[in-house]
Amino acid sequence: MNTLRRSRSLPGALAAKAALLMLATTLTFTASRASANSADSGLYTLPQLIELAQTQNAGLRAANQQVRSAEAGIETARALPNPEVEILTGSQRARLAGSIEGNTRSLSITQRLDLPPQRNARINAATAGLTAEQAQLRATQREMIRNLKLQYYELLRRQAELDAAEQDLVTSTQINERVSVRVKSGEAPRYDIIKADAELLNAQKHVQGARLRVAMARAMLRKAVGAPMASRFDVIPDSTPLPELPKLERLRQETLATNPDLARDRALAERARQQLAFERAARLPTVALRAGYDQDPEVRGARLGVTMSIPLWDRRAGPIADATAQLNRLQLEQEQREFSLQQSLEAAYQQYEISRNQVAALESGILRQSEAALRVAEAAYRFGERGILDYLDAQRFYRSARNELIAARYEVRAALIEIERLHRE
């Protein structure tokens, strides 16, 4: 509501005083915002905050290192077993006549063979592990962006509430001064000034609380970014229009195909499947080639053969059973994840539609009607047709509708952010 227009209806001195009060409040608020954009401050848009977090957030960089570790795991899985070299040296002493004394030497080399069933399963398990870590990195990034966006819009919401509370304080001050004049002139009972004083104190309390909530929201946004920021910063409101969402069934199918959390569960299940294949292949006999060379004072000899372990006692029943149980567990968790994702997507979709309808209803009808009712109540009170209670009730209804609009705008953005987290790759 335009309070400047209402102030023109007051007596000359009172209107001038109210205009000066509004001007001083506006200048104070503008100065506080300007100070936040000074040399020791920063002004950020939402894309700038996201870029800052993606490049400097420590948690995201730690997730990147997990991917590097998984890449190294593939190199480890591909490595061939090293050969084993055995060198022995000694001396030979004669105990019988005619025997020759001297030094003896022995050299042997053993190379264990990496059987294809075991090698392929090991490499496939490591590759699936890398896929899982890459999906986890995307999920971590999505969660970080989701939290950052929520805190960004939370800060915008709290700033809008602070602006509204300061406007209410100006209005309550004008009402208090107007009622005070009428009470002193005998046009209104003293009860009116008591109500006006209470309303002014309540408005002051709301302004103080709104300022604290803005400071808290700013601190939470700094935490969500997780990177060095200006000591005093502010954000530029996002003017991106709300999109038209596709049908829920299409969103559900795309979410099941692209969600990073579900992709991670699938990769973990594949790794467990390859681990089970490796444990089963480990029951095969291990084979190693062995070559040797012996030398003594009289004879020199060379040997070439095969060393084989026979899986007679250990059939790896325990590791196979453990790998089977892990595979079953991960498959069940994948099914539960699919069900949970569908339910979360449907809830976020419905919340988005509800909040969007609330915003449209408040912007197009309720808020305008409450503002018109407030103007009528103001005029009726000014001409003595209504009491102070009717005027204050109309004022509260207008404030309630305005605050509902602020909350609904935040809720629709929060629902959209949740849909993006669940749906987009």
Say how far apart CA 260 and CA 252 lie, in whole Å: 14
Helices (H) and strands (E) in the chain, counts: 11, 6
Residue 7 is predicted with a pLDDT of 36
* Positive or negative: CA dihedral 295, 301, 304, 305: negative
pLDDT digits (tens, 9 = 90+) for 239-297: 888 888 889 999 999 888 888 999 999 999 999 999 999 999 888 888 999 999 988 87
Q: What dihedral do alpha carbons 258, 264, 266, 270 form, nearest 10°?
A: 140
Cα 332 to Cα 326: distance, rounded to the nearest angstrom: 10
Q: Kindly report, residue by residue over 40-83, the tens digit of the pLDDT.
A: 458 899 999 999 998 888 888 888 999 999 999 999 999 999 99
Selected residue with higher pLDDT from 337 and 369: 337
Query: How do residues 356-374 score in pLDDT, each as one tens digit?
Result: 888 888 888 787 788 778 7
What whole-number distance in Å separates Cα of residue 380 and Cα of residue 376?
6
Neighbours of 408 (CB within 10 A): 20
Q: Give yes or no for residue 171 having a pLDDT over 90.
A: no
Domain boundaries, the chain: 3-423
Share of the chain above pLDDT 90, in %: 43
Distances, alpha carbon 312 to alpha carbons 285, 308, 365, in Å: 9, 12, 83
pLDDT tens digits, 292-328? 998 887 788 898 999 888 888 888 889 999 999 999 9
Which H/E stretch holds residue 327? Answer: helix 317-361
Alpha helices in 226-259 (DSSP H): 248-258
| 25 or 216: which leads in pLDDT | 216
Q: What is the pTM of this model?
A: 0.76
User: Could you tell me which CATH number the domain at 3-423 has?
Assistant: 1.20.1600.10
